[in-house]
A and B are shown apart, each in its own frame.
Chain A
């Protein structure tokens, strides 16, 4: 049984009038630490993990594509990585034309894809002047920051 907000308020009322500066409560499935702080109190809780995990075991990532880092990039080609982990989208909305295709010329501020992280759509610019050589991630795939999402050839390289 965890303590409710009301229980904690009650404990704090008692502590307020005491000379104690901290209280640590530990049960089989819950810990609560209260500390006197400037002008008030702080609380930290820790809830124990479930003893029995739910039936369907989690696979942490759904579609983890094999990493293409093994092959070295040829000279003048650079890898584009997402600025944040998130879902990779090639087009501004479903059904729309992709931002870029293989062979597209890009400028540093050309948007090449969208990464959706925490419900926010983040436009990803090419960051350089050049050409799209390969699109490595699948549309709507979840990508980590170490995932190569595109290969770009630097102009003049």
Chain B
């Protein structure tokens, strides 16, 4: 069927981004907005606005019932969930099906499989993808056997932990007994769950992901992105293609991602995330994201595609409009996330009202934003203000454009991380490219901002 009217269940720059493509396709847009966002730029751009609840996300953007009720009332054909919020929520996909509305995303079953990390890992293994070597340990004998098999250094992780908490390093097999016992005791004390598991420790890792597009039958890849520049697991800068990656490794990752998507007959836009072990020259499946990503514009820049348009086409039930051979890559793109956080004050969030919003423009420069002079930056949501995307024939040209673009960006009224991005551009390690995920911490410790 042809989609004529879409409800956008999101806010911020991605809502504005989706509206832009809908407008180009002649699709009417209804923005589902919280009370904090009724006068936002996306609300001004949309054909109509439906207020779905009070400002806190839990009562608005994270409430599937409120979103579906708004979609039914507005008589839309489809819901675009953007990223974050309900974008990977199987309950929303189910509620859409029950209401006879298209959910622009994968199937409920796919959302369920991808959302459960253990199930996704099992699927990856059965599709022949490499995963970080490791496993659960119930006894000390298990631990000794796995340490022997995998080789040191090894991480002991608490099942109940996460985000870096409850981890211990074994550098020498002789430490196994002591470390595992200590880890179990600490896990019990901290998480009331003594279970631990073992994983190979990747000393130097890069976060490289592969963009997939599927129609439920055919799955193709749209190249890779490097997202290794992160602070506390938050991506700050992304590039496409991943710089200084061995071409045979790159090809293997593309093939692995496609194999994973094909094994489940993936439908829609999705991203397979890999950890690249720099020292061993290997890669491991981490997880899949079943939605459009924040960093999708770098892929658009090097492929010339509009990924939102492709999502909509697949959601309309059409087969892919291109084959793998039709996908051509051109040049290099880098995206900078400009956030309302004060990089001179430990990245403290800075909600408020934007007084001045001057963005760069010109050849090879794209800005995705929902911010203009006078825009509110509410304290309820994430701090992303704008994405500056630069594209050049090669990485050097892209970075030269980034230098001009970042210099010509001026935001006042809220504090930002612009100074950090400018300093990053001057850093020799970043200029060389191909940094690991620990790079940002090293760079920041040098105190160049």
Contact = CB atoms under 8 A, between A and B. Distances in A.
Contacts of A5: 20, 366
Interface residues of A, number: 43
A104 interface: no
Contacts of B362: 12, 16, 40-41
Contacts of B351: 84-85, 117-118
A54 B35 CA distance: 10
Contacts of A34: 361
Nearest to B352: A85
A5 B51 CA distance: 28
Nearest to A54: B49
Interface stretch (A44-52, A71-79, A106-114, A131-139): A44-52
B379 A44 contact: no
B8 to A, nearest CB: 14
A5 B361 CA distance: 9
Nearest to A37: B408
A56 B73 CA distance: 13
Interface in B355-375: 357-363, 365-367, 372-374
Contacts of B24: 4
A41 B39 CA distance: 28
Contact of A47 (B44, B381, B403, B405): B44
A51 B369 CA distance: 22
B372 A142 contact: no
A117 B361 contact: no
Interface size class on chain B is: 35 or more
Nearest to B37: A58
Interface string B398-438: 00010111011010000000000000000000000000000
Nearest to A11: B361
A49 B50 contact: no
B36 A41 contact: no
Interface string A4-16: 1100110011001
Nearest to B370: A47
B372 A47 contact: yes
A58 B60 CA distance: 13
Contacts of A2: 23, 45
Contacts of B33: 54
Given A5-B20, A118-B379, A47 B45 contact: yes
A86 interface: yes
Contacts of A48: 44
Contacts of B382: 118-119
Interface string A88-126: 000000000000000000000000000001111010000
B441 interface: no
Interface string B228-259: 00000000000000000000000000000000
A39 interface: yes
Interface in B340-397: 340-341, 348-349, 351, 357-363, 365-367, 372-374, 379-383
Contacts of A60: 35-36
A44 B373 contact: yes
A12 B364 CA distance: 11
Given A12-B363, A41-B360, A49-B44, A56 B51 contact: yes
Interface in B41-68: 41, 43-45, 48-51, 54-56, 59
B372 A117 contact: no
B372 A46 contact: yes
A28 interface: no
A5 B373 CA distance: 19
A55 B51 contact: yes
Contacts of B360: 37, 40-43
A18 interface: no
Interface of B: 20, 23-24, 33, 35-36, 38-39, 41, 43-45, 48-51, 54-56, 59, 340-341, 348-349, 351, 357-363, 365-367, 372-374, 379-383, 401, 403-405, 407-408, 410
Given A41-B361, A56-B51, 6 more contacts: A13-B363, A40-B365, A44-B372, A45-B372, A50-B44, A54-B49
11 contacts: A16-B363, A40-B408, A41-B362, A42-B360, A44-B357, A53-B38, A58-B36, A59-B35, A87-B380, A118-B379, A119-B381
